[in-house]
Amino acid sequence: MAKPDHVLEKDGVRLTVDAAIATVTLANPAKRNAQSPAFWRTLAEIGRMLPGDVRVVVLRAEGKSFSAGLDRQAFTPEGFEGEPSFLDMARGGEAELDALIAEYQEAFTWWRRNDVITIAAVQGHAIGAGFQLALACDLRVVADDVQFAMRETSLGLVPDLTGTHPLVGLVGYARALEICATGRFVHAEEAGRTGLANLVVPAAELDAATQDLAAALLAAPRDAVIETKALLREAASRTYDEQRAAERAAQGRRLRDLAGLAD
Q: Structure pTM?
A: 0.94
Q: How many CA atoms lie within 13 A of 143 on its CB side?
A: 21
Statement: 5-217 belongs to CATH 3.90.226.10 = yes
91 Cβ neighbours under 8 A, 6+ residues apart: none
Per-residue pLDDT reduced to its tens digit, 131-180: 999 999 999 999 999 999 999 999 999 999 999 999 999 999 999 999 99
Query: From the centroid of its chain, how far is CA 129?
Result: 10
pLDDT at 188 (0 to 100): 98
Per-residue pLDDT reduced to its tens digit, 180-226: 999 999 999 999 999 999 999 999 999 999 999 999 999 999 999 99
Is the separation of the CB atoms in 119 and 210 below 8 Å? yes
pLDDT at 206 (0 to 100): 98
pLDDT at 74 (0 to 100): 85
Q: Determine the Cα–Cα distance for residues 96 and 40; give it in Å rounded to an integer.
A: 18
Report the candidate in 124, 123, 108 with the shortest Cα–Cα distance to residue 159. 108
Burial 34-50 (b: 16+ CB within 10 A, else e): bbbbbbbbbbbbbbeeb
Q: Determine the Cα–Cα distance for residues 251 and 257; give it in Å rounded to an integer.
A: 10
* Confidence grade of residue 245 (pLDDT, cut at 50, 70, 90): very high
* Confidence grade of residue 107 (pLDDT, cut at 50, 70, 90): very high
Domain spans of the chain, in order of start: 5-217, 222-258
Give the mean pLDDT of the chain: 95
> CA torsion sign, 152 to 158 to 160 to 164?
positive
Q: Determine the Cα–Cα distance for residues 119 and 132; give it in Å rounded to an integer.
A: 13
Q: Determine the Cα–Cα distance for residues 166 and 170; give it in Å rounded to an integer.
A: 6
Tell me phi and psi for residue 217, to 5 degrees.
-70, -20
pLDDT at 87 (0 to 100): 82
